[in-house]
Each structure stands twice: as C-alpha cells, then as structure tokens.
Amino acid sequence: MSKRIKAKRTNVPSEMELAHKALSRRVAVEGIVLLENNGILPIKPGKIALYGEGAKQTVKGGHGSGEVTVRHEVTVKEGLENAGFTVTTEEWIANYEKRWQEGKKAFIRKYRKKLLRPSTQTLAELVAAEYKYPSGRLISKEDVKSSDTDVCIYVIARLSGEGQDRAVEEGNYLLSKAELENIRRCAKAYTHFIVVLNAGTSLDVSFIDTIPGIDALVFMGQLGMEGGNALADALTGKDTPSGKLATTWVKNYKDIPFGDEFGKYAKNALRADYKEGIYVGYRYYDTFGIEPKYEFGYGKSYTEFAWDVSDIRISGKTIEICANVSNIGTVYSGKEVLQVYVSCPDGKLEKEAKRLVTFAKTKFIAPAESTELKLAFQVEYLSCYDEGCAETILEAGGYIIYMGTSSRCVKEIAVLQIRDNIVLERHKNLCHAESAIATLKKEETVREISGNLPLLELDGKLFKTIIHDYKEKRHMFHEKTEKFLSQFTEKDMASFCSGLGLIGDGKGFQVPGTVGFTTADYLKQGIPNLSMCDGPAGLRIQMRSTITKKGKIKPVDAPISIYEFLPKVLTKCLLGNPEKEEMLYQYVTGFPVAAVVAQTFNTELAYQMGEAVSSEMTEYGVTYWLAPALNIVRNPLCGRNYEYYSEDPVVSGMFAAAVVRGVESVPGNYATIKHFALNNQEENRYYVSSNVDERVVREIYLKGFEITVKEAHPRALMTSYNKINGTYAANSRELCTDILRGEWGFDGVVMTDWLSTGEDRASDIEALKAGVDVIMPGSKKVMKKLAQNAENGVLDKKYLRRACGNMLDSIFNSAIKM
C-alpha cells in the first residue's frame, strides 16, 4: 500500500463517472411505474405548469446511512427543462422554495437548541430527525392564468429514512389537506393533468378515485442523481415505462393485516408480533380476497403486449418455460415482464393462494414484433417448512403454475404433480418462538385443477434428504492466516474482532467518509487495514474533504444531512476549510434506491449497478460495501423501505444476488448483505423483538438471504439491531451460525450493525459466541473487553480464533494489498 489514500486531487469528472451516471439514468427510467394513463402520456415538450413539493425539492433517496452525496442531483424541474419543456409556474415554485428553506431553518434551530444540552434521548432523536416537507401554498386562479398552458404536472414528495417509521398522518402516508386541495384545483383548471409520486414506497392514493380529472398517475419513486432526467425520459416517451410494483398498494391503510399494531401503533413497544404469518403482501391480499388498489407486479406501458407459452417442461428439478411476447401496439416500443406464480396444495400445512417463483423481462420490442423469453425455476422454491418436525418439504399434490403480468393478471399454464411428500432437508428447530404466535389462518379452500393443462411429473427419486448435523467443522484458513493465528495473543486476535469506528485512528489506509475500519495496528506485519462504506444507492463516502500537511482529513460537505442539525460551533470544528487546505475528491454515483431497482424487474441492470459500484470501490479503495439491504417490506410505514427491494422474498433474493455478483465480480471487493434479520421497522429498533413463527421466519424473512447466500456467495453479512423471538440477532447462534453457516454454507465475515452491542443492547461476548466476527463500529474498549474475556476464560478462545481467522482471511483475499 504505497499511498495512504486513493481520493483524487482533481475534481474533473472521469469517464467512469459519466458512464455510471448514464447507467443510473437507465436504471431509474426502468424503475418508474406508470400507475394510470388515459392516453395523455407520453407528452411532447412544450409549456408546462409544474407544482408540488417535489418539483424542485425532488427527493433522490431516503435519509440516514442510505444517503449518497453526489456532484449534482437533477430535479424534476431541471429534467423537464433539459428535455425541452418550459416551466411556466416559476413564481409558485419560488414561493415553495422559500417556505421550504424557512421551514428547514426553523427545524434546524429547534434541534440545535436541544443539542446544546444533549441527552441520550436527543442524540437518538437526532439520527431519526427528519424535516417533513411543508405543503405548497394554494394554487390560485392567477397561477393558472399566468402558467399559460393546459398541461400540468403535480409532484408529491415524501422523505423518510433511518430511525423513524412513517405514520398514517396527513402530509405523511396520507396527503395533506393543502395537497388534496391543490390537486383538486389543478384537475379542474387544466385540460391535461398528471400526478407524480416522488416517495420511497406507497402512499394513500385514494384521491385518484375521488378527484375527477387526473389523466395519469406516475410512481417515480426516488430515482437517485438522474431523477429529473429519467422522469422526463418516461413522460416524453423517449423511453417507454416498464417498471412494475414490487409491493402491493392498498386502497386503504385499514386493509393492511394488523397494520393498526405496526411500529409505534403497537400496544407493547417491545414486541412486534407477526400475526399475519406467511400472509405478507400479495400473499395476504390474494388469499383473503382483498382487492388492492394496485397489485404486486402491476405497471402500465405506452404499448400493449400479448404472450403465450411455446414450451413448458421439467428437466430434473427445474421447470423451464419458453414464452413468446409480442408488442401488439402500433406506435411505441416497450418491454414486458412475465411473472410466474405457483399455487401450492394445502397439505398438512396451509398455503398462500400463490407465490412468485421467477420472472423475466424482455428486451425492447418494436411495434408488431415478438421476442422469445426463457424462464426457469427450481422446484425447491415450492417447498414449505414444517415446524412440527423441522423439515423442509415438498408436499404431495397438484401445483398450479400461473404466468402473467401481475399477481392478479395471470393464466394457468401447467400443473406439476408431486406423488408423495418429499423431505428436502431435515433441520433442528431454530429461531423458534417460545410460544406459538396466534397467526392468521385461512378458511379451507377447494382448488379446481383444470384437466386441460399440460401435466408435469416430478421424479421424487431425484431428491436425497439433506440432514443438517450442525457440527462445528474445523475450518482451514489461508496459510498466512494460520501462521498469524499460531503466533497471536488474545489481544492480537481481539484487535481484528473490533472495528475502529467512524473515523479510524488516522493510521493506515484512509477513505474519507468511511463508516468503519479494521485495525491498522498490524501494518508493519504486513496486514492492511480495510474500510467499510454504506450503500445501497451507491457508495456513501465523502465527496469533498480537506487534508492538512500532516495528513489530517476533514469533510467539507456534511457527510450525512443530520450534520446540519449540529450546533455551528461543532460543525466548524468537524468540517474542513477548503480555502485553507488542500482538497480531496471522491465523486460517486447516486443510483436509484433499492425499491426502484426492484421495480425494474431487470436483474441484469442490478448486476451492472453492482459492477459499477465495485469499480468505484476500487477507485477509492473501499473493501466492504454495506449493501445490499434485503429486509422484507412488511408494512408501507417502515422508514427504511426505500432501502429494501420488495414484500416478496424471491424478488428480494434475486435482486440482492444480482447486485452481490456485480460487486464481487471484482475479486477482493465485498458486498455485505444486511440486516440479518427481521429488521422490518425502525420504531424502537434497538430493543424490539420480532416475534414470529419459525415457519414464517424461514419461508418469508430468511428466504431472500438464503437465495442470495446460496446463489451469489456474498463475502460479508451484517446482523440487525432487533431481537428475534426474544434473542438479539447479533447474539443468536442459531441464526448466525446454525442457519447461516451450517445450513446455507456461508463462509464470509459476519459483522454487527453499528452500535447494536453495548450496555443495554446485544452483548459483544455473546456475539462472538454466536458467530459474529467483528463488532462494528467497535472501539479500543471493545477490543480490550474481548481480549480480557478470552484471557479469563469467559469467552472460549476458539470463538476468538474463528472470528480473527475469518477476518484475516477476508483481509488477505481483499483487493487492498500492502
């Protein structure tokens, strides 16, 4: 490691930066979902009346550790202007800007005052501090007149993020009175009226049925740095929208199962009882016959498609489907997504009406042209978990295979017959709820299986039951690792099992803006220090920093927006002065949030995004990217939903696997899948216990992680803050060792989430015993504690050895060399 830093001394955009910006726009435009369109879209550039919070204060992503700072963010206004529109409502937008800035200043003042006398409570609040966007002033007749056009776009924006869930309140999940009134006025005053939603996940969209005169509704999501340009591409038809919803949008929040007990609405803040069981998202709405507003998998196009199956067969344990997809429109090219669902038979265990097993997206199909699409899935995706005997089984019966373009727009295409029960895996009960959760049960249903469908027969003889023995296997480390382990004292080993916090110790290799390091105390022995940086919408590192002659580095821009809330005296010390010191630059790409990436239903794009992030990691010397995050979207109110992919485990797993493969296509750069597991709410996240039946844990909440681990072999994983059935995730040996390593074969590094261990949180010592390798962000104090406990026998040395061995292997295999 000749240089201590790879940050650049110049701020000239590199070719890579430009190429990644183009990729970000591509992902963004494919993730936009056209919810309604009566034919107004696409529109030609011309004069446009633009209103709404998101017009110029466009939200590119959520707040918290998922924030990515970029050179430039394209707002909706700018994007439309770039595309040739003339925005004729400058006055309204300027007035909104003023309200927004004033509101923000007042909000910051409030926090600064609190922080003059900080308490644990105010600091905790600070992480969750979220400036709620004010509504704009009411649109007047004068605004309409002076806009001098009959086309109008209204952009509703919502910001949410880490540390706080959303609420069923006006201006939040619900629209504010002023927003509703403005939408009503625009719908009446303009001949052509389009509403755009700039939010992390779903909102209450009941206004679409109560306010007449809305011609189109577009779910823009949070599109990253190229948001405005991508939206303009979709609105003008430069690119036909092809995004599909990866979550269900309900008609009314009341339709969400046990939504009145979610997060802050829970009677007992320490418990989150997952009473809906396996019935999450469309699994619930489809099984219980509740009609959503927009179903999972739904999204319109400017053209229309027809499809049929040309072949379906079973080849060993895989079902292979060949389909022809035709663009039956006459004007626009477009892409279509085919989705395969299966209705599994109710045997000993009751099943959801249908579950997604795979999907695929076509390339652009020109009008009147067709393309062939190949889809495949493993029959293991049809299994269920029998908690009574701890077995993963394929139950005997007829499995109806459906294909379609959303969870509700499907046709039966074949039946798979399984003659006898097949036991795929024999486990032991793990992450088991002490007392069963009173979960939702469906009424007995009778499924009729049509005799006219192609019948596929599964050969049960192909399967040999995997019996997990959970025995600890003696792991052989890297030759170099073994050598160090044989010489290391407890203190040496502990040094690698505790990170070095947010700012490192100034020694060794530096990546300004990193959120954690491994120790730099062993550089002389030839062991480099590695850095860890957040995601998932790109690399969260410091865009601009200063460096003193002595090598001290300080950020120039706030590394995270909560910096704005700190008292000025403090930020003055924390931030560098660009006029006095030399500058360092690390420009990165702000990609769309994970929720949008999933809406592309294009895993190839997700792979490319992973590859792009990885090149930026190499550029600046980042080793662990703390992403992708693949918790299940259990309820639309979770503040971090924007960082997650879907309510469906297969979508989550397929996207996370694609991103991991992209990142790890560069040997020695690591993806860190998180938050393992069941971190489905932000409310009380350090203390709440997600209480769930084991079947549900495995079939819904761990499934995406299992797919990712088995298919993409990520080199790192981060545990979550919460407890699972009473045990902290970071202290659960059942989760971090028995399931993760024992059943799935994970052999990378397990790290804790930041500050999830400590006095009233998970225990550091128990974490090491559970299978965690490094406590993050850690400290010298944590390191000492681990060493002392190993010396006095409280922590068996074998755990420390294993953890240190995993860390050293990870370090020696990384792209960072001495």
Contact letters for ligand BGC, residues 105-144 (x by CB under 6 A): ----------------------------------------
Contact (Cβ atoms closer than 8 angstroms) between residue 517 and residue 500: yes
Give the sign of the dihedral formed by CA 730, CA 733, CA 735, CA 738. positive
534 touches ligand BGC by CB under 6 A: yes
Q: Which is nearer to ligand BGC, 153 or 632 (CB)?
A: 632
Per-position b or e across 520-531, b if 16+ CB within 10 A of its CB: bbbeeeebbbbb
Task: Work out how close the CB of 785 gets to ligand BGC at its nearest, in angstroms, rounded to a whole number.
Answer: 21
Residue with tokens 């499934």: 703
Binders of ligand BGC among residues 473 to 502 (CB under 6 A) are: none
Kindly state the tokens that stand for 526: 């030839």
Q: Which is nearer to ligand BGC, 65 or 603 (CB)?
A: 65
67 touches ligand BGC by CB under 6 A: no
What are the percentages of helix, strand and coil residues in the chain, rounded to 5?
30, 20, 45
Task: Work out how close the CB of 277 gets to ligand BGC at its nearest, in angstroms, rounded to a whole number.
Answer: 26
Task: Work out how close the CB of 66 gets to ligand BGC at its nearest, in angstroms, rounded to a whole number.
Answer: 7
Residue showing the smallest CB distance to ligand BGC in the complex: 65
Task: Work out how close the CB of 529 gets to ligand BGC at its nearest, in angstroms, rounded to a whole number.
Answer: 17
515 touches ligand BGC by CB under 6 A: yes
Alpha carbon of 660 to those of 227, 375, 679: distances in Å?
24, 21, 20
CA 263, distance to chain mean position in Å, is: 19
625 touches ligand BGC by CB under 6 A: no
Question: Distance between CA 247 and CA 380 in Å, rounded?
Answer: 23
Q: Which is nearer to ligand BGC, 26 or 674 (CB)?
A: 674
Q: Which is nearer to ligand BGC, 153 or 772 (CB)?
A: 772
Residues in the chain, overall count:
818
Q: Which is nearer to ligand BGC, 356 or 626 (CB)?
A: 626
Backbone angles phi, psi at 87, to 5 degrees: -80, 125
Task: Work out how close the CB of 150 gets to ligand BGC at its nearest, in angstroms, rounded to a whole number.
Answer: 46
Question: Distance between CA 286 and CA 126 in Å, rounded?
Answer: 40
Q: Which is nearer to ligand BGC, 65 or 160 (CB)?
A: 65
Q: Which is nearer to ligand BGC, 307 or 721 (CB)?
A: 721
Q: Which is nearer to ligand BGC, 162 or 773 (CB)?
A: 162
Contact (Cβ atoms closer than 8 angstroms) between residue 354 and residue 402: yes
Residues in binding contact with ligand BGC, number by CB under 6 A = 8
Task: Work out how close the CB of 127 gets to ligand BGC at its nearest, in angstroms, rounded to a whole number.
Answer: 7
626 touches ligand BGC by CB under 6 A: yes
Question: Distance between CA 613 and CA 597 in Å, rounded?
Answer: 14
Q: Which is nearer to ligand BGC, 283 or 685 (CB)?
A: 685
Contact letters for ligand BGC, residues 747-776 (x by CB under 6 A): ------xx----------------------
Q: Which is nearer to ligand BGC, 356 or 716 (CB)?
A: 716
Contact (Cβ atoms closer than 8 angstroms) between residue 521 and residue 496: no
Q: What pairs with residue 305 in β-bridges? A: 327
Kindly state the tokens that stand for 550: 């002595």
Contact (Cβ atoms closer than 8 angstroms) between residue 607 and residue 711: no
Q: Which is nearer to ligand BGC, 338 or 673 (CB)?
A: 673
65 touches ligand BGC by CB under 6 A: yes
Binders of ligand BGC among residues 190 to 249 (CB under 6 A) are: none
Task: Work out how close the CB of 744 gets to ligand BGC at its nearest, in angstroms, rounded to a whole number.
Answer: 21
Backbone angles phi, psi at 455, to 5 degrees: -110, 125
Closest by Cα among 621, 646, 416 to 510:
621
619 touches ligand BGC by CB under 6 A: no
Question: Distance between CA 614 and CA 611 in Å, rounded?
Answer: 5
Question: Distance between CA 720 and CA 643 in Å, rounded?
Answer: 14
Task: Work out how close the CB of 600 gets to ligand BGC at its nearest, in angstroms, rounded to a whole number.
Answer: 22
676 touches ligand BGC by CB under 6 A: no
Applying CB under 6 A, among 300, 674, 715, 785 the residue interacting with ligand BGC is 674
723 touches ligand BGC by CB under 6 A: no
Alpha carbon of 615 to those of 223, 227, 619, 669: distances in Å?
21, 22, 6, 9
Write out the DSSP string of 482-513: HHHHHH--HHHHHHHSB--TTT--S-S-B-TT
Task: Work out how close the CB of 497 gets to ligand BGC at its nearest, in angstroms, rounded to a whole number.
Answer: 18
Task: Work out how close the CB of 379 gets to ligand BGC at its nearest, in angstroms, rounded to a whole number.
Answer: 34
Give the sign of the dihedral formed by CA 411, CA 415, CA 421, CA 424. negative
Task: Work out how close the CB of 626 gets to ligand BGC at its nearest, in angstroms, rounded to a whole number.
Answer: 4
CA 92, distance to chain mean position in Å, is: 34
Task: Work out how close the CB of 778 gets to ligand BGC at its nearest, in angstroms, rounded to a whole number.
Answer: 12
Kindly state the tokens that stand for 530: 């590695």
Q: Which is nearer to ligand BGC, 133 or 754 (CB)?
A: 754
* Site residues for ligand BGC per CB under 6 A: 65, 162, 515, 534, 626, 674, 753-754
